[in-house]
Structure 1
Amino acid sequence: MKKRFPLLLCCTLAASLLAGCSAQTAQSGQNSPIPKNMNAAGADSFAKNQISKDVIAGNTRFAFALFKQLDKEDGKRNIFISPLSVSTALTMTYQGAATSTKEAMAEALGYTGIANEKLSDSYKNLLPYLKTLDDKVELNISNSVWVREGENIKPNFLTANKDIFQAAVTPLDFSKNNAAAQINQWISDATHKKIDKMVDAPIPSDVIMYLINAIYFKGDWSEQFNPQATFPTQFKTGNGGTNDVMMMSRTGKVEYGQGADFQAVRLPYGSGKAAMYCILPGKTANINDFIASLDANRWQAIRNSIAEREEVRLQLPRFKLEYGIKNLNSSLSALGMGEAFTQKANFSGIGANIYISRVLHKAVIEVNEEGSEAAAATSVEIKQAEAPAQMPAFIADRPFVFVIADDETGTILFMGKLYEAGQA
């Protein structure tokens, strides 16, 4: 796979933008029914106002924390993720977490101090709002819960996922040969065939549930590149080599910003409500060191630096990128939610002795003269641990046999049965 390090960040920030594009205007609030006779614009504004700024801020912190953690693991590889997909799938699972497991997940996901009701209300309004963000941009967000047939999953957990995340809940005989194929077909349909396999067959016998999020995005640039201006050139890779690329090019009005160690552009899609941000570190900077310096505050400072300029020469490679299937267990554990992956996990809101066995993620993107097409899927695999062993108890309150033996030779020296026990 070709390495295009200066583009890694813009791809990931484009995905995180989908979760954070409304951070400046979203307000906290309760999830009240949309008033009757409200027009589409009013309903859209009403829904946006129910999205908590705290939840958006938490999602943004999680996006950068996860991205930086993955960069530590895959510093010499392309990276592309949908933080929104990961956080949504884990927030679906979070509905059943309790005690220290819930606290650890809240810390990792950026939800510490956020009441359950506020979190639920925000997601209940955020996901539908994003789907209708721009009528010139296609953004589909789908959720599903697949339960092993016959498992006793707590109804309140399933109801919460249906109500908050509009998740389709499907009981399925995981032992059937086509069970994994059925789940994979759902993922394929939800991502327009961009991701066609996340679940391996046969499904292990101890897996009782999958919680899956899928996102599909397709947006045309507000101002497209002229294909005739695209030219072949070389791209300097992060390891010092070069790759041949087709470089898109245009000159004119561009939303551009810069700082002491970066340049940035904002490339809007459709009517401009969503955009790709591309951030280019200074020529002597190491991309991984730059990523390590990023957080929500610096991201906001980068955005604040951007303004429309009349004349900017813009060149951006045409590229395709695929990342995954990536197991996120180690990255999420490093962010503090390791307990959820152990048999000490407390998901009592789902059922007894439940833990997360794997969180898998895959994302793909294609960027060309017309715009961008991207998809991502996250699968949270749930297993049921063996019931904890009861503490052994030896209570000699009835007749028993006793033996005194020489353990060196195995010779039984004495042997008896206590049939009646009186005071000694």
Structure 2
Amino acid sequence: MKLCLLLLLLCLCRLGLTDEPTPGAPHVSDPEVKEKEEKVYSCGGRRVFSPEEHQAIGGAIERLGLQLLENLPTGPQQPNVILSPLSLAFALAHLTLGARSETEQLLLKSLHAHSVPCYHHILGSLASHFSNMSLDVAARMYLRPGFQVKLSFVEDSLDRYQSRPVPLVSVEEVNQWVEMVTNGHIPNFLDSIPQDVVLMLMNAVYFKGEWQTRFDPMVTSKGVFYVDNQNSVSVDMMKSAHYPLRLLDDPELEAQVASFPFKGNTSFLIVLPLPGKTNVSSLLPRLNLSELYRRLPEEKTMQVNLPKVKLQYRKELQEALTNMGLGALFSGPDLSGISDQPLRVTGVRHACTVELSEEGVEAAATTAVTSMRSVSLFSVNSPFVFALVDDASLTPLFMGIVTNPAPDNDPMINDGPQDNNTMSDQPVMDDVRIKVLNSENSNTLCNQKAGGSNMASCSAPAGDMEQPQQVNGLETTQEEETCSKPDDSAHA
């Protein structure tokens, strides 16, 4: 199962607000007189956008996401970063509807929207496209009673991004909505709402998917994840001796790229830097996820080790967006398309949860795989970049960096990551057996060649890790799921 949640809150306050607002419903002023070019009319109506146009938007969202990841570096106190480029694009594009002059141009530039004609219309159409998937998108526009907002902004918000205006009554009501649209996974999102906040643009993205090929929970066991050359942590590692995987070895990128398919036309893409060659930080500026996706070869059956993780991430994005050139939003932006009263953005708050577990469509209780003459191994046991990608538009719904999937666990000293023989075909026995050991210690994954050869791939380091007896196949242990809730930290 893949469970992702994200909530993005964009708050605007009225400059110089000192008096209490008058109770009552949100006030919508008369329509704003706007000049519309002919090309705008060609975007609307009942037009159905092509797959190529959706992929153009997907590319723009990907560039936005990668840029944000570069400005949210990991560190010892915050080893993992999780975000939704799709949600961020919705929030900034929504704000762009009310931006004017230089503020509008800055937002369009950050969204990479200048290269995409009909940007708002195509981006808004993705919501209906995603309705056929395991993805839910919800949006809401909270207005302080008495605050005057232009009708044109309300209409465009509803038409483009299905964001309806509702009165901003209390923090309790906002938190109830957040908890509802995130299926209970983000309670108590806000502690309070400052009195000078007159408008909140909110959206949430919820994804719950199932692997096309599930991992057997009985085979999940303790494994080692190498945080860096000096430290490692013990994690629950999902394992399969016979997993269909699309795997690409990119020598120029010095990384391996794997695609785990979900039911519903989505894929979980992992970019794993080669040990000793590069790291996730130096990898980000060179990434082109959509291009890597297109280059993936056909599926091939192989052995797979994938960490079972549950990660939570909350972050105020003001500093990152300022580093991306959007600092003017928080000082003196031109948002006159929203209201005639001067406004500024006071915060962009983000919360996300990602969970990887064994659940999938197919039961995989098989404990023996026969006549496997040659099997590759893909072991995700060191820092990686991930993206949850829509197969049709190549839009990254979620992206992230994982440098420590179990930050609450005590680190262990090691000599560095073992070689990840992902692309090396390794002969194995004709009869590969999987044995579950009731042990609290880790185990070693070894493949032994028939005929007496001692050729093996073993991933457990020396030390306090138990070396199991060698058998014709895989030995694993079964442990409870590890959960972690990292806190925000300063840049590394």
Mapped pair 1:265 → 2:272: no
1:107–1:337 CA contact under 8 A, matched in 2: no
Q: Is 2:273–2:280's contact at 8 Å kept on the other side of the alignment?
A: no
Whole-angstrom distance in 1 between the partners of 2:227 and 2:81: 14
Q: Is the 8 A contact 2:215 2:240 kept in 1?
A: yes
Q: Is the 8 A contact 1:147 1:171 kept in 2?
A: yes
The structure-2 alpha-carbon separation of the partners of 1:243 and 1:74, relative to structure 1 and needing over 3 Å to count, comes to closer
Q: Secondary structure at the match of 1:103?
A: helix
Match of 2:58 in 1: 56
Residue 285 of structure 2 corresponds to which residue in structure 1?
A: 293
Tell me, yes or no, if structure 1 residue 182 matches structure 2 residue 173.
Answer: yes
The answer (yes or no) to whether the contact 1:105–1:336 under 8 Å persists in 2 is: no
Distance in 2 between residues matched to 1:193 and 1:71, nearest whole Å: 29
Q: Secondary structure at the match of 1:96?
A: coil
Aligned equivalent of 1:368? 357
Q: Report the CA distance shift for 1:75/1:239 in structure 2 as closer, same or farther (over 3 A).
A: farther
Whether the 8 Å CA contact 1:103–1:112 is kept in 2: the answer is: no
Distance 1:244 1:192, change over 3 A: same
CA contact (8 A) 2:213 2:360 kept: no
Q: What is the number of residues matched between the two proteins? A: 324
User: Displacement, 1:259?
Assistant: 1.1
Following the alignment from structure 1 to structure 2, what is the Cα–Cα distance between the partners of residues 11 and 283?
Answer: 28
Q: Which runs of 5+ in 2 are unaligned?
A: 7-41, 362-387, 389-396, 399-492
Unaligned runs of 5+ in 1: 1-9, 16-28, 35-45, 174-178, 377-424
Q: Structure 1 CA distance, aligned partners of 2:300 and 2:59?
A: 32
Say whether 1:235 aligns with 2:225. Answer: yes
**Match of 2:146?**
150
1:372-411 to structure 2, matched below 5 A, reads none
Q: 1:165 to 1:301 in 2, by over 3 A?
A: closer
Aligned-partner residue type, residue 276 of structure 2: T
Letter aligned with residue 233 of structure 1: G
Q: 2:348 matched to 1:359?
A: yes
Q: Kindly state the Cα deviation for residue 104 of structure 1 after the two structures are TM-superposed.
A: 0.9
How far off is 1:290 after superposition?
3.4
Question: CA 1:225–1:163 in structure 2 vs 1: closer, same or farther (change >3 Å)?
Answer: same
Q: Decide whether aligned partners of structure 1 residues 75 and 99 sit closer, same or farther in structure 2, where only a CA change above 3 A counts.
A: farther
> Tell me, what secondary structure is at the counterpart of 2:121?
helix
Question: Per the alignment, do residues 158 and 256 of structure 1 end up closer, same or farther by CA in structure 2, a change over 3 Å counting?
Answer: same
Partner amino acid, structure 2, of 1:161: S
Partner of 1:408: none
Q: Name the counterpart of 2:480.
A: none
Larger helix fraction of residues: 1
Query: What does residue range 273-284 of structure 1 map to in structure 2 within 5 Å?
Result: 273-284=265-276
Deviation of the 1:307 alpha carbon: 1.6
Distance 1:53 1:223, change over 3 A: closer
Q: Secondary structure at the match of 1:307?
A: coil
Structure 2: which amino acid aligns with 1:350?
A: I
Structure 2 residue 203 is matched with structure 1 residue 213 = yes
Q: Is the 8 A contact 1:96 1:350 kept in 2?
A: yes
Contact 1:86/1:361 (8 A) holds in 2: no
Map Cα deviations across residues 246-291 of structure 1 (whole Å, 9 max, x no partner).
11111332111111111121111114x1010111100114534333
Q: CA RMSD in A?
A: 2.8
**C-alpha contact (below 8 Å) 2:3/2:208 kept by paired residues:** no
Cα distance in 2 between the residues matched to 1:110 and 1:149:
35
- Opposite residue 82 of structure 1, the aligned amino acid is S
CA drift of 1:51 comes to 4.6
Distance 1:215 1:162 in 2: 17
Deviation at 1:31, TM superposition (A): 3.4
> Which has the higher relative contact order, 1 or 2, with Cα contacts under 8 A spaced 6 or more apart?
2
Name the CA shift for 1:74/1:140 in 2 (closer, same or farther; >3 Å): farther
Verify: 1:331 aligned to 2:344, yes or no. Answer: no
User: 1:309 deviation in Å?
Assistant: 4.0
For residues 223 and 155 of structure 1, what CA distance do their matches in structure 2 show?
Answer: 49
| Normalised TM-score (structure 1) | 0.70
Q: Compute the displacement of 1:75 (Å).
A: 9.3
Q: Against the structure 1 CA distance between its residues 52 and 365, is the aligned structure 2 distance closer, same or farther, given a 3 Å change threshold?
A: closer
Deviation string, structure 1 residues 109-139 (Cα, Å, up to 9, x no partner): 2123545xx1221123111111213xxxx21
| Partner-residue secondary structure (3-state), 1:263 | strand
1:69 — aligned with what?
71
